[in-house]
Amino acid sequence: MRMPARLAAVALAVFALFLVSPARSADTKDSGASPHMVKPLRVLLVLGGCCHDYANQKDILAKGLAARANVECTIAYDPRTDKDKLNPVYEKQDWAKGYDVVLHDECTSGVVDLKIIDRVLEPHKNGLPGVVLHCGMHSYRSDGWPKSTPWFEFTGLVTTGHGPKLPIAVRYTDKQSPIVKGMEDWTTINEEHYNNAAGKLNDTAHELARGKQTIPARKTKKQETPQVTNDFVVVWTNEYGDKKAKVFATTLGHENKTVSDDRYLDLVTRGLLWACGKLDDNGKPMPGYGPKAK
């Protein structure tokens, strides 16, 4: 018999539960209660869509988070590479039930139905923390784009495009934030630098880092383009909705080499712990939320 369309779509999604315990990261070392005495944070990683190597990045992120914090990661990976395909995990109204935080790493700019987007946002409106990475910012371009969309209210930043792949010099601007406290500025490999289309963050958001990228002058037969240096916000936090759900966000993370960089994984882990209220003032996991010992 022919499989119903909905089941066929769901069958495209690949779900995997990671319970990995790599070595501790010095940057997120836990100094309190044993993580075996504390239930792990239940993290839903949503990945898939256009333009990225999510097949590998899902594993890089799941293992990287588990190496740095007491988390249990469930992967909702959609292998389809279309920008207009909704991840099947969102088909259920209660899709986020049972999770402590959702990490959005999808690239689905063509999903524009406001009813669907409202379903994606509903748990966060009710206070569920979120983490948004890279192309998650450029997803869900519903009516109102490029100036204002429900998704931009969630992420905290209006961003509509990016420049060429070139190094980005990352500098932390709020060095007292526990998310980036003690972290050193760094420069990425060739990466996509997302713009700040509105010129600033939303009023509900708070800047943690900026990125500077220089695009060399170019000359063609038709025109000459002068050198341009862009300086955009690349890491920030946001409070979303009436329940003020905590959201950590970064536009960094196109290339696998960047996603697997310890500096990137430390940053994302701290942001996730902060969103869940499990990061202390010194940037360390609260007791029991550091990585499990081998």
Task: Read off the DSSP letter of residue 285.
Answer: B
More confident residue, 125 or 26: 125
Which residues neighbour 35 within 8 Å (Cβ) at sequence distance 6 or greater?
Answer: 70, 288, 289, 290, 291, 292, 293
Mean pLDDT of the 242-247 span: 98
Q: How would you classify the pairing of strands 14-18 and 71-78?
A: antiparallel
Give CA–CA dist 5/159, Å, rounded.
Answer: 34
pLDDT tens, 43-90?
999 999 999 999 999 999 999 999 999 999 999 999 999 999 999 999
Give CA–CA dist 290/287, Å, rounded.
Answer: 7
Backbone phi, psi, residue 261, to 5°? -70, 130
Asked if residue 95 has pLDDT above 60, the reply is: yes
Asked if residue 145 has pLDDT above 70, the reply is: yes
The pTM for the full model equals: 0.88
Buried b (16+ CB within 10 A) or exposed e, 6-23: eeebbeebeeeebebeee
Q: Which two tokens stand for residue 45?
A: 């990683």
Angle at 78 between CA 92 and CA 269, to 5 degrees: 90
Pick the range with the lowest mean pLDDT from 34-38, 114-118, 179-183, 187-191.
34-38
User: Beta partners for 170?
Assistant: 186, 211
Mean pLDDT of the 140-160 span: 97
pLDDT tens, 152-202?
999 999 999 999 999 999 999 999 999 999 999 999 999 999 999 999 999
Residue with tokens 């630098």: 193
Q: Are 50 and 109 in contact (CB under 8 A)?
A: yes
- How many Cα atoms sit within 13 Å of 71 on the Cβ side? 31
Q: Indicate the pLDDT class of residue 292, thresholds 50, 70 and 90.
A: confident
Q: Indicate the pLDDT class of residue 11, thresholds 50, 70 and 90.
A: very low
Task: Read off the DSSP letter of residue 35.
Answer: G
More confident residue, 208 or 292: 208
pLDDT of residue 293: 60
pLDDT of residue 184: 98
DSSP codes, 55-86: HHHHHHHHHHHHTTSSEEEEEEEE----TTPP
Domains of the chain in start order, with CATH, are 5-161+197-209+233-275 (3.40.50)
CA dist 239 → 30, 127, 146, 198, 232 (Å): 26, 10, 21, 18, 20
Give CA–CA dist 157/151, Å, rounded.
Answer: 9
Pick the range with the lowest mean pLDDT from 13-17, 120-124, 158-162, 185-189.
13-17
Residue with tokens 């192309």: 135
Q: By C-alpha distance, which of 151, 11, 130, 2 is closest to 78?
A: 11
Mean pLDDT of the 249-265 span: 98
| Ranges of H-type helices in the chain | 5-12, 54-66, 114-125, 150-155, 256-259, 262-275
pLDDT of residue 249: 98
User: Beta partners for 132?
Assistant: 104, 249
Asked if residue 116 has pLDDT above 70, the reply is: yes
CA dist 234 → 109, 149, 170, 191 (Å): 19, 19, 8, 12
